[in-house]
Each structure stands twice: as structure tokens, then as C-alpha cells.
Amino acid sequence: MTQKLIGVAPSRRAVLKGAGAGLLAAGFAAPVWAQAAPVKLGFQLHRTGIGAAYGRWYERTAQAALKVVNDAGGINGRPVEIVFEDDGTDPKRGAEVVEKLTSQHNCDLIFGPLFSHVVIGSAPRAGELKVPYLVCSEGFHVAGGMLNRWTMQPGITDVRAQVSSMAPWVLANLGKKVTMVFPDYAFGHDHRDFFTAAVEAGGGEVIAQIAVPPTETSFTRYLPQIPRETEVLYHVMVGPAVLTFVKELGEFYGTGAKPQIFGFIDSLEAVDIASPGLEFLEGTHFWEGHCRAQQADASEHEIAYRAAVGVDANGASVSDAKDVSTYAHMFSVWETLHIIKAGMEASRYQGTADRQKFVEAVEAMTDMPESLAHVQGDKVFNGKTHQVFGHQFISKVEGGKLVKVHTTSIEDSMYADAVDYTTQSF
């Protein structure tokens, strides 16, 4: 199913009302439209399949960012349109969606996919079609050199950076004998490989690695594999059964002794942490790419973004407290759309003949200071590897809420380049 959204040029009075005034005050000017065709962006959306919970909020975030961009004058004086296509969180369909958005809808570029197996299955087709493909995925496949010059990840950090920067804190504060539970596909394998390496480099040991199919619906046969001598249980899970996973984990340990628990918030994205059965999480820790609960030190940009995407201080929809967001990840859509705007304006993008110039303009980017365009915080983009680096957050469950207890530096997450895409031909 295709869905098309285009921002309509509002009146000056409409722009200055309500939240619009706050966004303009944060640095955006009122729109002045050129007499030109819209910039057409394709969005590869996980509307169905195991990524549907993310897809729902990625779409809402894209719509909110689209409004901000169009209210500020669009791109190069042209209004911006987004065409959404569902890929079913499926690699084969993903490649077909890339083809459709490029060849049938004539989109200028494509952005938005999250799940790594879909990105890996889709990026080769983007390269063949010579269409910029900006992913919001976290996988190391971009920076690792697996893909191509047309594929970039400028709006979210990757798993290698995330786990490398946090491992020292985990070892120093929680324990050194670690058991890992992770999904058995590319994203989970990045966790397995890079966290294991980081633990060993820090003098710790991963004593067990438990791989679980991402489509699994019950986890009781996996949990007994956790060794009794485990000091830290590291878990990251995805898919529609994440709540089941965490509940069964709590039932497995009951009220008895249990290891320190460190999870990636992926295991609870779109899930209310105060849900019945999750009481055992009190005192445990989570990685968050962007803090779900509004923190005491939240910036004006973070507060404006939260309002624009319709999320309350607890991380749920302002219209339905039971509709919990995928807040730790969806900022990547917002930031990627603003990077698209910056890249197109730097390259003076006029049409598909300028796609190469757009890629080169993004490759030339470096520092990305926190702003309304970069609401998660400061970042540094590596044009050679097509990967952005930024801060990571560790939160502790206190009183049923996630409270930030540690922020990594950007330098903590950096690693040696594995590829230089700028040396590759288009």
C-alpha cells in the first residue's frame, strides 16, 4: 500500500500559532514557496511484519518532521512530499519497495528502514539504481563496508559504537561474567560480536551466548541456558513478543537471587515499563538511544521535538497513554530528514541528475551540534564510513520509570575505519 503525504503551505497566521511559533523561534523561518515541483522522498516503512511497532512511530515521526521542514520553507524553496511504502519488514519486499519508490514513484531518494536484514537485502538494489539510500538501522553493515556508496546512516549510531562505549560502565558497575541473550540475525550478531570483544578488552568474560529467533513467541526453553555463575545478564530482543520475553524472564527468576540485568531498550520498545509482570525490572539498567522519559536536564530542542511528535513526558502518545513510543530509535527519522534537507541545500539539488552531488554533500558533513535538527544531541559524521557517532545513555528503572544515570562521550564510541566509501565509484 502506498501513502503519499505533502506539506501544504500554511498562512503566516497559521505558522505563528501554537507549537509552530515555538519551532520558528528555535531557528526556522516562515515558508516562501518557489513555483517548482515538490521534492519527493520515498520512505521504506516497516508498517507490517516484526518491525510494525517501530514502523508506526517512524511514520508519525516522519510526518512531524515533514511538517517542520515544510513550515520552514521546504527544501531549496520547494515543498517536500513523502511517499510511504510498506516492506513488511522483509528483505525481498524491501528490494521491491526500493525499486517501486525509484522507478514508479520517481522519488529523489529513499530513507527510513530499520531492521538490518531488510537493509542488507535492499541496499544492493539502491546501489544498482543509483539512488541515495539513508537508513535508520543501527547495524554495522554500513560502517563495516558491506554495502555501497549510495547507502548512508547519518541519523543514528551503530551497534558497534553503542556497545563499545557502554561496556566499560557495565563491567565497572555491574559485573564481569556476562551472559548474552540476543536475536539470531544480523543485528543480534553485531551485539554478540562487538559486545563480546568489548567485554574481553575490559577484562571481563562472556560466559554464554544465547541466540533466539526474532520471530520466537515463547522463551522458556532458552532461559534455563543462563549459567548460574552469571553476574550480568545482557539482553536485547526485538519483534512482537518482546513483552512476553521480559515477563518470562521475570517468572524465570521469581523472587529469588538473580544477576544484575542490563538490557537494550529494544526489549521494551513500545511497551509500558509499568506493565503488570515487569516489577522485577526495578533497579535494572537499560541502554537508550534517546531517553523515553523526559529527563530533568532535557534541552529546549528535545522538549520541542517531543511535542511535535506527540509524545508525553512518560514516552507515550499524548492521545493514548497505552500507546508507548519507540522513542529510543525514532529520532533517527527526524534527524535523517533534516540531514536530507541540509544535504540537498548544500548540493543545490534540483532533480535526480543531482543525486551524486547530494551524496557528496552529505559525505562532506562532520560536526552536527545539538539543535532542533539534531534533537538527540551532538554528533560527528564520518563521511568515509557513512556512519554518524553520538552519545549513548544508560538508564536505571527507579519507581517504574527510566532515569538516566550515565552518558557516554562521543569519543568513547569511535573506532578505526573499516572502509572508505569515498574512494568507490558511483
Report the pLDDT value the prediction gives residue 7, as an integer from 0 to 100: 44
State mean pLDDT over 244-268: 93
**pLDDT averaged over every residue in the chain:** 92
C-alpha cell recorded at residue 157: 549510531
Q: What is the mean pLDDT of residues 71-75?
A: 96
Q: Distance between CA 95 and CA 77 in Å, rounded?
A: 31
**Residue pair 115/390 in contact by the 8 Å Cβ criterion:** no
Q: What CA–CA distance (Å, rounded) separates 359 from 43?
A: 17
Q: Give the model's confidence band at 5: pLDDT under 50 very low, under 70 low, under 90 confident, else very high.
A: low
Write out the CATH class of domain 12-157+328-389: alpha beta
- The residues near 18 (Cβ < 8 Å, ≥ 6 apart) are none
Beta bridge partners of 263: 235, 286
**Confidence check: pLDDT of 53 > 70:** yes
Global pTM exceeds 0.85: yes
Residues pairing with 196 in the sheet: none
Domain residue ranges of the chain, discontinuous segments joined by +:
12-157+328-389, 159-288+391-413
Q: How confident is the model at residue 21 (pLDDT cuts 50, 70, 90)?
A: very low
Q: What is the pLDDT of residues 212-229, one digit of tens each?
A: 998 999 999 999 999 999
What is the domain class of 159-288+391-413 according to CATH? alpha beta
Question: Residue 113's pLDDT is what?
Answer: 98
Q: Half-sphere exposure (CA, 13 Å, Cβ side) for 13?
A: 0
Q: What is the 3-state secondary structure (H, E, C) of 257-316?
A: CCCEEEEEHHHHCCCCCCCCCCHHHCCCEEEECCCCCCCCCCCHHHHHHHHHCCECCCCE
The DSSP letter of residue 29 is P
HEC string of 94-131 equals HHHHHHHHHHHCCCCEEECCCCHHHHHHHHHHHHHHCC
Q: Do domains 12-157+328-389 and 159-288+391-413 have the same CATH topology?
A: yes
Helices assigned H by DSSP within 34-106 = 52-71, 91-99
pLDDT at 6: 52
Phi/psi for 325 (5° steps) reads -80, 170
The pLDDT of residue 240 is 82
Q: Please state the φ and ψ torsions of residue 339, each to the nearest 5 degrees.
A: -70, -40
pLDDT tens-digit readout, 331-347: 999 999 999 999 999 99
Task: Mention every residue, 6+ apart, whose C-beta is less than 8 A from residue 416.
Answer: none
> 157-167 pLDDT, tens per residue?
999 999 999 99
Q: Is the pLDDT of residue 26 over 50?
A: no
192, 161 Cβ separation under 8 angstroms: no
Q: Which residues contact 343 (CB under 8 A, 6 or more apart)?
A: 349, 358, 361, 362, 365
Selection from 169, 167, 116 nearest residue 141 by Cα: 116
Q: What is the pLDDT of residues 347-364, one digit of tens each?
A: 999 999 999 999 999 999
